[in-house]
Amino acid sequence: MRLPPRSPGGAAAQPRPADYPFYRSRLGPDGRPIAWGLPDLEAFAVAHPGDPFAGRVLPGVAAPVALQLEATGEPPVWVALDAGELNRWAAVLARIWRRWGCAHGETIAFFDYGSSPLVLLASGSYIAYLRRGAAERLGLTTVCNDGVASMASRMVGILQTVKPTMLILRRDLVAPLAAALDDAHLSLAGRLRWAAVCEPEGATTRAEVDTLAARLGLPLRRILRCDGAFLLAGDCPDCGLFHVDPGYRMQALAAGEVAVTTVFAHLCPAIGYNIGSAEIVGPKCPLEPRAQRIACG
């Protein structure tokens, strides 16, 4: 197996999965890497403490951008991207926001860490080498509060003063925000086009999102996030499933799980990342008839 083709202008010689220590350690009989998840990456990192990327970046290759994976424990594992990959990942995020609805000149607010890809990919102001962030592609203004509960009242101030029409917040911050909104006698109903809830890894279950939505008093969108595979997907307001960008290839695994390969990731390839229990659903969503879809959570 060879890695997904590079865009024009990329390196001439394509490395194979076997060239990467992490994948070399887990090649199946067919020569393809066996699907893996974060625990596999963490285990490799523990066994190879000198490699911040846990065997997924070729030795000696420069990493213009290195991101520490929030969802990994000790030692934290890092991923790497070049400028082109960063821009393609940002395009994925822009397509999610466009599907959920936004208009040029509106503002999107984040109640999350600045290190979250959802924030970083929004604007070239937040990370180096990103030419066109998702917000810049859509003509949006961004504002980011810090993703800690003690900043909930400041988030309320942002909602009152900046009046964003879109909000992305971490699941663990919904309760503090709701309490701060209560204190301020402020209702979110009618203030936002949409709000979306995210996790450091995976997606909040639909049942929990429903509970959180009731607490906040507005519908919440879901985000599927796996930074180790550069995966971002948003659920669909129409069919309720996650629409998966063409930048990812999906593969059903035997145990009712789904693996994702990220087409645009070359510097730090993501081949066969197991996102866990999920089901690939055929296209034909009325909103995006050609979108590949998965059901999870």
Partner 1 sequence: MSTRTARPKNRLRLNPGPVAEPFDDLDRLTPNALVQWWVRRLRRVLKSAAADLPFYARRFAQAGFYPADFRGLADLQRVPILTKADLLAAQAHGGSHRVGIEQSAGGAQARTILSLSSGTSGTTYITHTARWRRLQGLASSRAHWWAGLRPGRPMILSAPAWHSYAAIQPFIVERFGLDCVVVSGTYLPRFADRIVDALLRFRPRFVTMFLPMVFAILSAALRQGIEGRRLFAGVDALLVTGAPITPGMRAHLQDLTRVGRVAELAGSSENLLAVDCARGAGLHLVPDTCYAQVLDPRSLQPVADGVRGTIVHSCTVPAGSLYLRYRGGDMGVMDHAPCPCGLPSPRIQLLGREEDSFSLGSQTLLPFDVQLALEEEVPELAGVACVITRESLAQGRLRLLLLAPQRSAATLLDGARIRLARRFAVPVEIATAPHLPLRFKGVPPILSESEADAAT
Chain contacts with partner 1 (rule: CB under 8 A) = 52, 62-70, 74-76, 78, 104-105, 107, 110, 113-115, 119-120, 123-130, 135-136, 139, 141-148, 154, 157-158, 161-163
The amino acid at residue 94 is A
* Least CB distance to partner 1 at residue 38 (A): 13
Residue with tokens 């990919």: 121
Distances (CA, A) of 23 to 27, 191, 232, 250, 269: 6, 47, 22, 18, 9
Q: Which residues contact 252 (CB under 8 A, 6 or more apart)?
A: 258, 279, 280
Nearest-approach distance from CB 227 to partner 1, in angstroms: 9
Q: Give the SS3 label for residue 98.
A: helix
Query: Which lies closer to partner 1 via its Cβ, residue 141 or residue 251?
Result: 141
Element (H, E) at 117: helix 117-120
Q: How many angstroms separate the first and last alpha carbons of the chain?
A: 31
Give residue 62's Cα distance to chain centre: 23
Return the number of the residue (15 or 76) whose C-beta is nearest partner 1.
Answer: 76
Closest distance to partner 1 from the beta carbon of 79 (Å): 10
Burial class of residue 1, CB neighbours in 10 A (0-12, 13-18, 19+): middle
Q: In the complex with partner 1, which residue's Cβ is closer, 35 or 69? A: 69
Q: In terms of C-beta density within 10 A (0-12 exposed, 13-18 middle, 19 or more buried), how is residue 243 classed?
A: buried
**Residue at token pair 């086009």:** 193
DSSP 14-27: PPPGGGSHHHHTTB
Report in angstroms how near the CB of residue 83 gets to partner 1 at its nearest.
9
